[in-house]
Amino acid sequence: MGEFTDWLLVILGNIFIVVLAVRMIGSWMKREYGDMLTNAVLGLIVAYIVYDSDGAVGLMKRIAGMIFGNLF
């Protein structure tokens, strides 16, 4: 079951990254640089979550620990 969820995460993450890249190119063509930068940052975040999921979970736990204390 773990391998299936890993593959599903990779496939859906890659689709989402491609959609964000297409939106980024469209924003660049319309000269909407704020939208282009937002899509680029979101693409980087999604790529980090997809390709380094263990590191992303650890980072989220550390951030949640700083905000809420050591509840997690």
Spell out the domain ranges in the chain: 2-68
Q: Is the pLDDT confidence value at 70 over 80?
A: no
With a pLDDT cut of 70, the percent of the chain lying above it is: 96
The residue among 64, 63, 14 whose CA lies nearest residue 43 is: 14
pTM for the model stands at 0.72
> What is the reported pLDDT for 37?
92
34: Cα within 13 Å, side-chain hemisphere: 0
DSSP state of 70: S
pLDDT range class, residue 1, cuts 50, 70, 90: low
What 3-state class would DSSP assign to 72? Answer: coil
Q: Cβ neighbours of residue 10 under 8 Å, at least 6 residues apart?
A: 50
Q: What's the pLDDT tens digit per position in 9-46?
A: 889 989 998 999 999 999 999 999 999 999 899 989 98
- Cα separation, 59 vs 38, in Å, equals 21
